[in-house]
Structure 1
């Protein structure tokens, strides 16, 4: 119930609409029950033998209601709420003239059904509006949450799983709202109204009904628990199906080059079949609810027919008309009871999805502004890593240990080491992609945890080896983060990044769409757009994850020229893959198993660091092998 209340929490902003829905629901229930009541009176009175007797038997010998005065006497002498209510309704619709009675009955039935349907239409329209808005709000909140979660969360969760939550799981919540939100207001009101009427007609028959019905509710509850467990497994499996599909499509070139189409096909089939099995098991339980419920309801009906029939035959205070009305309203109550049981099934399915949604929404966000956070508008002196330790989880071992070094403003500092040495993690700590586990990082003597996050990241630019571009125009990608940038500034950045020539040759120039992840561009063109984006940002601190390592010679030359331009008058942290590109760095930090092995210039490290010397000589050897002509 807690989860359902969390879902309903999204409805709180629309409370005025909810109040109106409740009012319209009351109106619908009243007019619906009135239409049923009048319909019974229509059959009872309009086609009663009384009218026939009225035409052929002297009035003084007829023992039926034949005038308004007699009806008034019945009202006065009636005992009990039911008799009084029944008499008042009859006094309104029954006339001496059968045609006049027919006219009134037809008018009342029409108005009752008209008002019932007007109320129902208005109620459903409001429900659809609120439900659609709630689903949009949930997706918006999830998107906002993802954007404010730390990078560690995304390293622990696959994008396919997160995509499944945003679309499949939220769709399931939408189904909960569509199929349960309106009924959870309507069905209880219908049931309560019918119970009141049943008690008014016969307390004895009502008590028998209330003894049998709880058994049905208990069975429904137990089935619902099973449905929720199985639905949770179904949603987890849906995420696996999305993941399998997404991986096979996103890596389609690798799949094809390794001729692994059959293997991927079988992998997807297996995952999809597991989804089928779990879905079938869950649906098997769902569809059992209706027949079980109906069997219990029929048992109730048969019992009531036997007891109520005996009461009528033996004249034990129950008239045939009352018994018919009791059965009609009891039957009318079966539908909301069945719907209420269906609500439970739908809710359990949706709540299994809601668990995953709210598990994301409950995740702790990045700390954007500490209580004493300050705005850092410029970088003046130095960056200092002060005995920094880092690990991803409390249970893990430290990835980085006792990092202690200083980067002066304007310096280029390179980080080298074997794969897994911790180079990328070091620079990821500076923009607070991850929190420092121990020690601290300062900019101009200020702990970065005390700097407002947006102002910290505004000082830092990033050009990575894996270029990230958006499915937008060239203009939109260069001006990302600066949507109001002038065309002159965009062109200037493009020229500085050696990108203007190929932009001019594109079909629509700056307004050319580059496709998903820049699929329409070459690797070098992508990198130059990323560099142009960084140039337009104009940050004083720059992080470079060797952006030329995967490029051909000509593209590398153009990108390197763009990088040289970008690095001018900036403090640069370089993750170096090609040591030849960082020989002129002011400082090189050699990493080994998360620790600093040595710090110095190229010449100093070549003399004193065996790790650096080995790395450098191995790369020289590879370079010489590549230069040798094929025999």
Structure 2
């Protein structure tokens, strides 16, 4: 009962997407109506020729037939124009709606937090923005016009057939009713099968994306056969889901074909009986048989529409399911803009745990970092170093306590403004497909070429860029695959220089580099950090020995604090890490 109440609400929401294209929508319906009307008129003209013109004098009959022929040609041109309009402009309306929905869901994806993406597969998200939306818009385009055409043809033909021979018309209509009931029963069974197909398709997309993105790892371990086997199993599960769907579809279409033929047979047999008894003329019987196609074709169209409806509606269910996920990190109603930042950061009794775990990653952390301070975070893997830094730009929100920026709770600052003040250089650099200039400019999209080049020089990247085939216009491939680790890292630093934020976070930025690259990158990082509040998550302790302030994180929070020398003299956790060769 609850579900039934929800359905009209969902359909009303779906209908909202027609609003910007009302003119196109009604024009599409008008031409659909016109095309359907033409198909009803032509058999009537055939009946007129057979019943009336045949009894006229030859010369008069020829004149009338010529006029009717010209009229039929005009009707064919109307039908041609109508068909062209609904095929081209109707599909374009569907494309516009698909464009709008794709923008909507992609914008929604951008609002969702790291916590959401931690539990999602890219393939599943991709299928919702591609195949699901295509099916939804096919429904929105074809659905209304198919229903209108079918209703006009079905009831128009029924009215005409009732005038020709009511008994035969009612017999055919009775079979049509049984046919519709049969279709509804089968379509109900198909609904869940279509939904399962979507899930399986999402899994396959995810597996393909995962395997192809990690193709270098696959090949380096010689695991091509393993990936093929994994894909084969997923592909078989998809076929199993399709098997169920196609079993229902087979019963559905076979039944529809049988009912369509049955209607023709019923009309022919009953018509022949009436013809033999003299209660129907040969002209009316031929007319009746001509209209049988107009009678059965819309039923088939309606039946096909129900299949399309299941496809599109299950896709819309998934669309709504995604759109209903509220961003767990967004601006508070009283959030204020941020114009100027000094860079004073304070953690006050901060604790944090991930949504799907109760174990705290951070517990009662208290920390104050003054503007321009250079703070290094060290500790064993899993101690919460990256998590602590991820809380500052609100990639995750604290579970308990608060973080303050220049005395303001960061949850009361507009999110865009907060993140605009923070630059992040990570170990795993993400570069977008495109050229070098575009990737550096990502730090500040309105920057001039001269500003981009200046940032590259500050990041020690200009020299290697000028050695590239097309300099700053060089295409770097998917995720910067054509660059070395050190080169990618320097482009990431150039991006941060261009952004010019007062707060910096270096997340193990040199841990994956060789000694020579590390030296160049380290020099760039130190230049970038000058006079900025800087957090450095250190993988190699040798890179932060000169830090004025080192924080040692453990599962219990900040265990030690001081310079390298002070911490070594304490002979505590830090000293043990150093002696272990980290």
Render the CA deviation track for 1:196-254: whole Å, top value 9, x for unaligned.
33344455444444433222112212222232222222222222223333333322232
Structure-2 residue corresponding to 1:449: 411
- CA separation in 1, counterparts of 2:257 and 2:502? 73
CA distance, structure 2, for counterparts of residue 194 and residue 440 of structure 1 = 72
Is the alpha carbon distance of 1:236 and 1:522 closer, same or farther for their aligned partners in structure 2, counting shifts above 3 Å?
same
The corresponding residue for 1:25 is: 32
Which residue number corresponds to residue 564 of structure 1? 526
1:518 correspondence with 2:480:
yes
Using the size of structure 2 for normalisation, the TM-score is 0.91
| Superposition map of 1:61-72 within 5 A | none
Matched, 1:168 2:131: yes
Name the counterpart of 2:194: 231
Q: 2:242 aligns with which of 241, 265, 279?
A: 279
Q: 1:142 aligns with which of 98, 105, 115?
A: 105
- 1:102-158 deviations in Å (ceiling 9; x for gaps): 223222222222222222222222202111222222222232222221111111112
| Residue range with higher mean Cα deviation, 540-549 or 376-385 | 376-385
Alignment of 1:345-424 (within 5 A): 345-365=307-327, 367-380=329-342, 382-393=344-355, 396-424=358-386
- Alpha-carbon distance between aligned partners in 1 of 2:251 and 2:138, rounded to the nearest angstrom: 20
Q: Is the 8 A contact 1:237 1:274 kept in 2?
A: yes
Question: Within 5 A, what are the aligned runs for 1:312-323?
Answer: 321-323=283-285
Q: Name the CA distance, whole Å, in 2 between partners of 1:6 and 1:139.
A: 16
The equivalences for 1:520-535 within 5 A come to 520-535=482-497
The 3-state SS of whatever aligns with 2:368 is strand
Shift of 1:443: 0.9
Aligned to 1:44: 51
Measured in 1, the distance between the counterparts of 2:326 and 2:433 equals 30
* 1:145-156 correspondence runs (5 A): 145-156=108-119
CA contact (8 A) 2:29 2:144 kept: no
Distance of 1:395 and 1:244 partners within structure 2: 26
Check 1:203–1:319 CA distance in 2 against 1; reply closer, same or farther (3 A cut). same
> Counterparts of 1:520-599 in structure 2 under 5 Å?
520-593=482-555, 595-599=557-561
1:4–1:351 contact (8 Å) kept in structure 2: no
Counterpart residue number, 2:431: 469
CA distance in 2, matches of 1:252, 1:33: 59
Aligned partner of residue 449 in structure 1, secondary structure: helix
| Secondary structure, aligned partner of 2:580 | helix
Larger displacement relative to structure 2 (356-365 or 518-527):
356-365
**1:396 to partner: Cα distance:** 3.5
Please report how far the alpha carbon of residue 463 of structure 1 lies from its aligned counterpart in structure 2 after TM superposition: 0.3
Contact 1:28–1:115 (8 Å) recurs in 2 = yes
Question: Take 1:254 and 1:395, find their aligned partners in 2: how far apart are those partners?
Answer: 30
**Offset from partner CA, 1:344-392 (integer Å, 9 cap, x none):** 1122123333333332222213654322121111223621112222233
Name the counterpart of 2:445: 483
- Contact 1:173/1:351 (CA < 8 Å) preserved in 2? yes
CA distance in 2, matches of 1:216, 1:293: 7
Matches within 5 A, 1:107-126: 107-126=70-89
Q: Is the counterpart of residue 13 in structure 1 residue 30 in structure 2?
A: no
Which of the residues 274, 287, 290 maps onto 1:328? 290
Structure 1 distance, partners of 2:200, 2:503, is 44
Following TM superposition, by how much is the alpha carbon of 1:568 offset from its aligned partner in structure 2, in angstroms? 0.3
For the residues of structure 1 that align with 2:78 and 2:561, how far apart are their CA atoms? Answer: 84
Give the secondary-structure state (helix, strand or coil) at the position aligned to 1:97.
helix
1:251 aligns with 2:214: yes
Counterpart of 2:389? 427
* Distance in 2 separating the partners of 1:594 and 1:295: 74
Mark the structure with the bigger radius of gyration: 1
Deviation at 1:605, TM superposition (A): 3.9
Change over 3 Å in CA distance of 1:105–1:609 after alignment to 2: farther
Q: Distance in 2 between matches of 1:367 and 1:201?
A: 68
Segments of structure 2 that go 5 or more residues without pairing to the other structure are 1-6
Cα gap change, 1:219 to 1:124, in 2 (>3 Å): same
Q: Deviations over 1:20-63 (max 9, x none)?
A: 1122222222222111211222233334xx35xx79xxxxxxxx
Map 1:94-105 to 2 at 5 A.
Answer: 97-105=60-68
TM-score w.r.t. the length of structure 1 is 0.84
RMSD: 2.6
Cα offsets for 1:430-484 (capped at 9, x unmatched)? 1111122222211112111111111111110000011111122221111114233
Q: Which moved more, 1:137-146 or 1:401-410?
A: 137-146
The runs of 5 or more residues in structure 1 that have no matched partner are 56-95, 621-631
Cα 1:381–1:256 change in 2 (3 A) is: closer
SS of 2:552's equivalent in the other structure is: strand
What is the CA-CA distance between 1:314 and the residue it aligns to? 5.0
Shift in Å, 1:187: 1.9
- Given that 2:329 and 2:397 are in contact with CA atoms closer than 8 Å, whether structure 1 keeps it comes out as no
* 1:504 maps onto 2:466 in alignment: yes
**SS of corresponding position for 1:11:** helix
Give the secondary-structure state (helix, strand or coil) at the position aligned to 1:402. Answer: strand
| Equivalent in the alignment of 1:190 | 153
Aligned counterparts of 2:60 and 2:466: Cα–Cα separation in 1: 92
What is the CA distance between 1:582 and its match in structure 2?
2.2
Separation of aligned partners in 2, 1:599 and 1:218:
76
Cα distance in 1 for residues equivalent to 2:417 and 2:242: 49
SS of residue paired to 1:619: coil
